[in-house]
Chains A and B, each alone.
Chain A
């Protein structure tokens, strides 16, 4: 199942499971999308009025429904920030509790295939300061599938940051009928490797590809991919204990690092753990360009990771092939192991 298929399948399952799960957004009622045909009373096309359609969703959520609203780009969701942050994000607290507002915001975010400065922003960290949201940033189809289902049951307002860049990533997994159990992170590797790479979202596929090449050259990195950030503890104690097994910790981010998610994780770890060497590799502190020529220099890639890891570990530089256009610019298209 591909990343976008996993989101669709889980959404259909959620709509089927509970009539109070509703879906709103531009083009969600398109014939062939698979929603309106099966759930005509639960799926609503919205006007191009992000602020008010989001307010509508907040009102519905306050009355016992679990509506999800989809935004085609985060830049459009910015038009609705009053309702997302100030209303849904404060609702239960400001009304003294016992008044849930489980609105779900599915926001497409980050790089695509060249949508330039106004369609590629990585504003993940805005939501981390909003405090009352569960935040989901899946990297794999399996994570996306179970996170959507988890959200559909949850009474907490939720932000689902969806990287379309991952849409073609494939993963074979069995869909469970049992209780949905999601994890804050997934570990790729062992707990005594040479270096720990902490990443999230769309950076996972290239980091996994870099890991394959490093291992062929006897360098063994472990990857911790963060994907669920609960409202009370954005990073779990269990994860911090695991991270403590490593002395070299590299943060890899497709967003600008400074004051972003991983910058926040770095700050927590710096206060809790001693004798650690922290490194970072990220996009530049500037907006993303449209042109493929400039994008190649803007986003980090597989070769950047390999070179940086060998440099940190003072290993011999690995001879690398120049990246193809597909590898460097287009959406990753392979099956996760």
Chain B
């Protein structure tokens, strides 16, 4: 499958959009401007960008506690997201929901909820509603590797399979549930491929840091899921640069805390570096790439700054 040049450019834009906006939000969090949980997806941007760009406008997204990236990749209103995170009434949930409740029905981002596992079965209901209405779109739910340990995950794969509901479950596996390493939480030999195949669901595991892989596999899965009216699981190995909740952490903190062994892997696999390589391999010159980066960074810094100026915290 050949990805069009323009798609790489859009992906670069989307990844930088998520990174820059979250970095700005993170800075303000440190100044006590956000009095709620804040789950950043810095480092995991290629997962959201890859899935969103591979799908159609009519496809539906449903998210979790860490869903700024999914919302932005789907085309959610940036201003309303910033307002929401800072508790402003102009936010996408009128400032009531906060960071963990993203919503933009206009672009088919139908909500996000932070209780682990809840989103999975809710999404199956959304997908069933679309099926009853005889629509041929796909519903996608994003969960983490922790939520995939909830009973709801296994129950929903069975139930959605039983009802022949077209549902794509994207697992962003960053290896940590809060700050608990997966080796402490999973039995030796735990294998999602075996588990999901036992439920007759489709399954694919790839790197979530690499936009082009995510994009291609999502396209393939979409086609199969719609054709067979079944459940698909896209398992993305990814790297969360920030803590579970709160502002992003310094290099020193990364090294000294729970991420010690992974630190160099994180630096090596920044999705921004990977997409830059892809752009180069697809005909963009180095200067052109740097110029695009400058334009995108400036654009999203400016949007944040303009919106933030309008917000009165209290």
Q: Give the B-binding residues of A (Cβ under 8 A).
A: 41, 44, 46-47, 49, 51-65, 82-83, 86-87, 93-97, 99
- Give the residue name and chain of the B residue nearest to A86 (CB): B115
Q: Is the CB of B91 within 8 A of A96?
A: yes
- Give the residue name and chain of the A residue nearest to B119 (CB): A55
Q: Is the CB of B118 within 8 A of A86?
A: yes
Chain A residues lying within 8 Å of B105, measured Cβ to Cβ, are: 99
Q: Is the CB of B159 within 8 A of A60?
A: no
**B91-115 with Cβ < 8 A to chain A:** 91-97, 101, 103, 105, 110-111, 113, 115
Separation in Å of the A2 CB from the closest CB of chain B?
Answer: 33
**B301 within 8 A of partner (CB):** no
Knowing A49-B155, A63-B129, A96-B91, the reply to whether A56 touches B162 (Cβ < 8 A) is: no
Knowing A44-B163, A96-B94, A96-B97, the reply to whether A51 touches B125 (Cβ < 8 A) is: no
User: B126 is contacted by which of A47, A54, A63 (Cβ under 8 Å)?
Assistant: A63
Q: Is the CB of A94 within 8 A of B93?
A: yes
User: B159 is contacted by which of A47, A94, A96, A97 (Cβ under 8 Å)?
Assistant: A47
**B113-169 with Cβ < 8 A to chain A:** 113, 115, 117-118, 120-130, 132, 151-152, 155-156, 158-159, 162-163
Q: Is the CB of A52 within 8 A of B96?
A: no
In the complex, 13 of the A-B residue pairs with CB atoms within 8 angstroms, ordered by the A residue number, are: A41-B132, A44-B163, A52-B152, A53-B121, A59-B121, A59-B125, A59-B128, A60-B125, A60-B129, A62-B111, A87-B115, A94-B93, A95-B103
- Give the residue name and chain of the B residue nearest to A67 (CB): B125
Q: Is the CB of A82 within 8 A of B118?
A: yes
Q: Is the CB of B125 within 8 A of A82?
A: no
Separation in Å of the A179 CB from the closest CB of chain B?
Answer: 28
Most A CB within 10 A of own CB, among B123, B126, B132? B132
Query: In the bound complex, how far is the Cα of B100 from the Cα of A94, in angstroms?
Result: 10
Q: Is the CB of B159 within 8 A of A58?
A: no
User: B122 is contacted by which of A46, A47, A55 (Cβ under 8 Å)?
Assistant: A55
Q: Is the CB of B162 within 8 A of A57?
A: no
Separation in Å of the A130 CB from the closest CB of chain B?
Answer: 15
Chain A residues lying within 8 Å of B158, measured Cβ to Cβ, are: 47, 49
Other A-B contacts than A55-B120, A55-B125, A55-B156, 10 sampled, CB-CB below 8 A, are A47-B159, A51-B121, A52-B151, A58-B121, A58-B122, A58-B125, A95-B103, A96-B94, A96-B95, A96-B103
**B44-103 with Cβ < 8 A to chain A:** 91-97, 101, 103
Q: Is the CB of A96 within 8 A of B93?
A: yes
Q: Is the CB of B159 within 8 A of A52?
A: yes
- Give the residue name and chain of the B residue nearest to A20 (CB): B132
Q: Give the A-binding residues of B (Cβ under 8 A).
A: 91-97, 101, 103, 105, 110-111, 113, 115, 117-118, 120-130, 132, 151-152, 155-156, 158-159, 162-163
Query: In the bound complex, how far is the Cα of B91 from the Cα of A73, in angstroms?
Result: 40
Q: Is the CB of A83 within 8 A of B93?
A: no
- Give the residue name and chain of the B residue nearest to A50 (CB): B155
- Give the residue name and chain of the B residue nearest to A94 (CB): B97
Query: In the bound complex, how far is the Cα of B159 from the Cα of A10, in angstroms?
Result: 28
Chain B residues lying within 8 Å of A57, measured Cβ to Cβ, are: 125
- Give the residue name and chain of the A residue nearest to B91 (CB): A96
Q: Is the CB of A95 within 8 A of B111?
A: yes
Separation in Å of the A27 CB from the closest CB of chain B?
Answer: 15
Query: In the bound complex, how far is the Cα of B95 from the Cα of A86, in angstroms?
Result: 18
Q: Is the CB of B155 within 8 A of A63?
A: no
Q: Is the CB of B162 within 8 A of A62?
A: no
Q: Is the CB of B129 within 8 A of A51?
A: no
- Give the residue name and chain of the B residue nearest to A59 (CB): B125
Knowing A44-B163, A96-B103, the reply to whether A62 touches B122 (Cβ < 8 A) is: yes
Q: Is the CB of A64 within 8 A of B155?
A: no
Chain A residues lying within 8 Å of B151, measured Cβ to Cβ, are: 49, 51-52
Separation in Å of the A315 CB from the closest CB of chain B?
Answer: 55
Q: Is the CB of B97 within 8 A of A49?
A: no
Knowing A44-B163, A49-B159, A52-B155, the reply to whether A61 touches B118 (Cβ < 8 A) is: no
Chain B residues lying within 8 Å of A49, measured Cβ to Cβ, are: 151, 155-156, 158-159
Chain B residues lying within 8 Å of A87, measured Cβ to Cβ, are: 113, 115, 118, 122
Query: In the bound complex, how far is the Cα of B103 from the Cα of A47, in angstroms?
Result: 30
Separation in Å of the B299 CB from the closest CB of chain A?
Answer: 27
Query: In the bound complex, how far is the Cα of B151 from the Cα of A99, in angstroms?
Result: 27
Chain B residues lying within 8 Å of A96, measured Cβ to Cβ, are: 91-97, 103
Q: Is the CB of B120 within 8 A of A99?
A: no
Q: Is the CB of A56 within 8 A of B91?
A: no
Chain A residues lying within 8 Å of B95, measured Cβ to Cβ, are: 96
- Give the residue name and chain of the B residue nearest to A55 (CB): B121
Query: In the bound complex, how far is the Cα of B97 from the Cα of A86, in angstroms?
Result: 13
User: B115 is contacted by which of A56, A63, A82 (Cβ under 8 Å)?
Assistant: A82
Q: Which 7 A-B pairs have the closest CB atoms?
A: A59-B125, A55-B121, A96-B94, A63-B129, A52-B155, A96-B93, A49-B155
Query: In the bound complex, how far is the Cα of B151 from the Cα of A96, in angstroms?
Result: 29
Q: Is the CB of A63 within 8 A of B118?
A: no
Chain B residues lying within 8 Å of A56, measured Cβ to Cβ, are: 121-122, 124-125, 128, 156, 159
Most A CB within 10 A of own CB, among B93, B110, B155, B163? B155
Chain A residues lying within 8 Å of B156, measured Cβ to Cβ, are: 49, 52, 55-56
Chain A residues lying within 8 Å of B118, measured Cβ to Cβ, are: 55, 82-83, 86-87
Q: Is the CB of A59 within 8 A of B126?
A: yes
Chain A residues lying within 8 Å of B124, measured Cβ to Cβ, are: 52, 55-56, 59
Query: In the bound complex, how far is the Cα of B115 from the Cα of A53, in angstroms?
Result: 16
Separation in Å of the B179 CB from the closest CB of chain A?
Answer: 23
- Give the residue name and chain of the B residue nearest to A41 (CB): B132
- Give the residue name and chain of the B residue nearest to A48 (CB): B155
Query: In the bound complex, how far is the Cα of B113 from the Cα of A95, in angstroms?
Result: 10
Most B CB within 10 A of own CB, among A54, A59, A96? A59
- Give the residue name and chain of the A residue nearest to B157 (CB): A52
Chain B residues lying within 8 Å of A64, measured Cβ to Cβ, are: 129
Knowing A51-B152, A55-B118, A62-B125, the reply to whether A97 touches B94 (Cβ < 8 A) is: yes
